[in-house]
Structure 1
Amino acid sequence: MWARGSLWPKVILFGDSITQRMVMKTIPRKTTKVIKLWFHWKQCHRLRKCDVLNRGLSGYNTKWALSVLPKIITQPANQETIAAVIVMFGANDSALKDINPVQHIPLTEYAENLKGVVQYLKSIDICEDKVIMVTPPPLDESAWEKECIAKGSKLNRYNSVTNQYAAACVKVAEECGIDVLDLCTLMQMKNQDFCSYLSDGLHLSEKGNTFLETHLWALLVKKTERLPMILPHWSNVDHLNPEASFPV
């Protein structure tokens, strides 16, 4: 039963810029400028049971993520409930070492870092059944190369390498006994053209975010289905005496 002062359970999104951009909507205008509007992730409205917190860190790899994780997710307080933590890293780790050594993380180290994230969460009583791992999406090399050239660089990622990191993510999740969404494989199934899922070759487009949401929802429901509604559905509110419908 909800009581005044209770904290809403949290769903935490922890990842790189792909995660960070889940809460950004880009609207092109007639001018060359672009307006970015912040909006709540759709899951927040669908859940109606949790706060959805975005902790996406643009440019971060798993090494940096593991270092800052204790500052991002701390030991839950007495009344605080973590309903789920969604972990999505790999797009930066998979950068080519000879071209982008700053963000690159070797494949074996990437896997160990993901295990480290799970181990830390367990150490603060966020168990495996509350964690969902999401692989990086596939890479559209042609589109991303244009982005790299515009920034004065060469193509610094390959889709074949991204697929290796996605496979490593899936393996870690299986070894740790946690749910995983293999976004990389799903977007490439039956040789489908996945380019429309990406806005610039690397980050998700609006269509890509919708694709992610659709497949993630089933996993997220499993984490939250037993949580009570914190406030009553509107149809259960006494319209003549609404205060009587809300717990003290």
Structure 2
Amino acid sequence: MSKCKSLIWPKVILFGDSITQGSFQANGWGSAIADKLARKCDVLNRGLSGYNSRWGRIVLPRMVNEEEAGNIAAVTVFFGANDCALQDKNSQQHVPLDEYSENLKAISKYLTAAGVPAGKVIFITPPPIHEAAWEKECKLKGCPLNRLNSVAGQYAQACVQAASHCGADVLDLWTLMQKDGQQRTAGQHGRSTGGMMPGGAPTEQNNREDAWEARRWTTEQNEWDPQCRADPAGTQK
């Protein structure tokens, strides 16, 4: 009896923080991508709640190696929402702007060296922050407001510039979600980006639906605390 050759689907790797980790929840953007790519690609969730670009850069070699790089169709790199935490309010997760940019470039450089061309890498900027709603969440945890939308915008711009430097694609969520002058902030785990199609652009319909609720991150599941625990992986030097 002849042996059938196994089918191996190309992989799409979603790499990032809690917005990525929770993206496979109901109506999540990760689950939407997996649905769109059914029978075409295996979509792998490699989101790490609480992580910033510094820790992501450290663990990336344990997630992507040369042996599997040839079968990777795309990698999304979605950090910045924790990096942009205010240093004096959340020093554990805060990453200086210049270091954030260099971390993204290093992540892209590693992927290229491993065999994933820059054209298969998609940077995603941090989304905007609804400060009033986020401040309420912080107060519930007994800490002051530790993120500002204007600062998130600086990190978003740095992400766009890093993508241009590396030759990677970029999805500027911070700008897209505010493009009509009405701030729409990502819901818990970024469910609001359920309209983000694999091509890299959120659909206008979903941009305008109630999915753009105040970002709640992962506090409801107690996966992440605005007070911020130290390096979840114990990787910080």
TM range (shorter): 0.7 to 0.9
Match for residue 218 of structure 1?
199
| Aligned equivalent of 1:239 | none
Preserved CA contact (<8 Å) 1:140 1:159: yes
Asked if 1:161 is matched to 2:163, the reply is: no
Q: TM-score by structure 1 length? A: 0.74
C-alpha contact 1:76 1:82 (8 A) present in aligned 2: no
Secondary structure (helix, strand or coil) at the match of 2:26 reads strand
Question: What do residues 130-188 of structure 1 show as CA deviations (whole Å, max 9, x unaligned)?
Answer: 10011010000111111111111110000000000000000000111111000000000
Shift of 1:39: 11
User: Are 2:55 and 1:64 equivalent residues in the alignment?
Assistant: yes
Distance across 1 between alignment mates of 2:48 and 2:156:
19
Name stretches of at least 5 consecutive residues in structure 1 with no aligned partner. Answer: 27-37, 221-248
Amino acid aligned to 1:24: Q
User: 1:39 and 1:172, CA in 2 relative to 1: closer, same or farther beyond 3 A?
Assistant: closer
Whole-Å Cα distance in 2 between the matches of residues 136 and 91 of structure 1? 5
Helix, strand or coil at the partner of 2:46: strand
Q: Is the 8 A contact 1:107 1:168 kept in 2?
A: yes
Q: Distance in 2 between matches of 1:122 and 1:40?
A: 23
Larger Rg belongs to: 1
Match of 1:198 in 2: 187
- Any idea what the Cα deviations from partners look like across 1:49-83, whole Å, max 9, x if unmatched? 110000000010011000000011122349x5100
In 1, are the aligned partners of 2:29 and 2:193 still within 8 Å (CA)? no
Give structure 2 stretches of 5+ with no counterpart: 202-237
User: Which whole-Å deviations, capped at 9, do the CAs of 1:202-246 have from their partners, x for residues lacking one?
Assistant: x42x4x1223x24xx3249xxxxxxxxxxxxxxxxxxxxxxxxxx
In 2, are the aligned partners of 1:95 and 1:104 still within 8 Å (CA)?
A: yes
Q: What secondary structure is seen at the aligned counterpart in 2 of 1:152? A: coil
| Whole-angstrom distance in 1 between the partners of 2:59 and 2:24 | 21
Is the contact made by 1:94 and 1:161 (CA closer than 8 Å) also made in structure 2?
A: yes
- Which residue of the partner structure matches residue 224 of structure 1? none
Q: Which residue of 2 aligns with 1:9?
A: 10
Q: Tell me what 2:64 maps to.
A: 73
Cα distance in structure 1, aligned partners of 2:29 and 2:152: 29
What residue identity is the alignment partner of 2:187?
Answer: L
Task: Report SS of the residue matched to 2:199.
Answer: helix
Number of the residue aligned with 2:214? none
What is the aligned length?
A: 197
> Which SS does the other structure have where 2:90 is aligned?
coil
Q: Quick one: percent identity of the two aligned structures?
A: 51
Taking a change above 3 Å as real, the CA distance of residues 171 and 45 of structure 1, as seen in their structure-2 partners, is: same
